[in-house]
Amino acid sequence: MKRNLKTLQFCAMLLIVAFTTFGCKNDILNGPIENSSEKPGTVTNVTVLNKSGGALLTYTLPSNEGLSYIKAVYEIRPGIKREVVSSYYTNQLLIDGYNSTDEQQITLYAVTKSEVMSDPITVKIKPLKSAIQQVFENLNIIAGFGGPNLKFTNPDRAAVIIAPLIKSDNGVIKTLDKIYTQTLAGNTTLRGQESVPTNFGFVVMDRFGNHTDTLFTKLTPYSEGLLEKSKFSAYNLPGDATMAYGTFLSYLWDGSYATATWPRAFTLEGVTTPQTITIDLGVTRALSRFLFFPRTESGNKYYVRANLRDFEIWATNNPPADGSYNGWTKLATQSVVKPSGLPSGNETAEDLASALAGWPTEFEPGLPAFRYLRIKSTRNWENTYAIMGTQIEVYGSKN
């Protein structure tokens, strides 16, 4: 009996030793893979592709097994340092943030998993013209309705900020709402300004704290107001769309913005050619913009069925009796942009907000005054031509 007890005690000791040893081995295996203080080699064979505001560097990686990333250190402006890194899974690194086309020096390091850096190597780059300079140089400012109208191109589709301001005769500066954009070509009007001579200024900035000079221009915005819907009437011409389901075109300007109510304006479905509706505005005005408010369908959805998607807007003062477009002036070719980009039937809160605010179409400032408006549907949200909607709004000169 005593011998059995000793045997059990001995076995227990063996188990403790075994588990302890196994645990130690596990700790060793689960420890840091890389804890070497060995300095890695440097990148080699560096080539430079100069780009707008920076450059793309391509290189050969050092052969160290513990390599983690490549780091570039440089100054985008005197005293303003920037660091960018690139994983060892790639052999390229993008340098950005410059607003100068002068030659610049970039310092490159290879870094291990233990954060040990290689010796530095330096590379020279010569950035091309920055995005903000490109936008600034092609800014075109003219008098618009309710404020200055800005047109610009942004070839790189870079994220830029256009900061407008007003400078009074005594030098006081008033800032206006900034414009944040990445669009290839911009066309926007800063509304809410008085129709008096005003000295407007514009600065283009980026996320790196760079900015251009200030472009000043003195102009007098056109006055703008919402045209009275009570003066609108349907002006049916040969070839115009046929109303369906017992609805009337006048529902588009009856003042009811309840998107889910019925009846609403709805043209005949199943047609195989683009559909047109014609409206007599009741007054002759220089037109500034058009808003279309879609009708809800399919469980509070707006980017569906016969709501306008791609369309044209035309205007004239003398509609031909034959219904042709002779003598009509095209004011706009427009496509409704769904903020989320999701397929029809799938809508986000941002999509909903855009629909409820009305889908806008801007008209070019400086066009003649017109009385008759024509909307031509070239595609709706089910890829046909019928038109449905809740309301329209038309803006233009006050007299």
CATH 2.60.40.10 applies to domain 44-125? yes
Average pLDDT over residues 82-89: 96
> pTM for this structure?
0.75
First to last CA, the chain: 117
Nearest residue to 231 via CA among 279, 189, 183: 279
Mean residue pLDDT across the chain: 91
pLDDT over 60 (residue 203): yes
Q: Quick one: pLDDT at residue 34? A: 57
pLDDT digits 0-9 by tens, 359-390? 999 999 889 999 999 999 999 999 999 999 99
CATH number of 225-396, picked from 3.40.50.300, 3.40.50.1580, 2.40.160.50, 2.60.120.260: 2.60.120.260
pLDDT per position as a tens digit, 302-357: 999 999 999 999 999 999 999 999 999 999 999 998 999 898 888 999 999 999 99
Question: Is the model's pLDDT at 96 over the cut of 70?
Answer: yes
State how far the Cα of 390 lies from the Cα of 357, in Å rounded to an integer: 12
- Give span(s): CATH 2.60.40.10, the chain: 44-125
Instruction: Give residue 213's Cα distance to chain centre.
Output: 24
CATH of 131-219, one of 3.40.1050, 2.60.40, 1.10.10, 1.50.10: 2.60.40
Amino acid at 365: P
Per-residue DSSP letter, 304: S
Is the pLDDT confidence value at 289 over 90?
yes
Cα 158 off chain centre by: 10
Q: Per-residue pLDDT for 148 more than 60? A: yes
Place of tokens 């806008």: 360
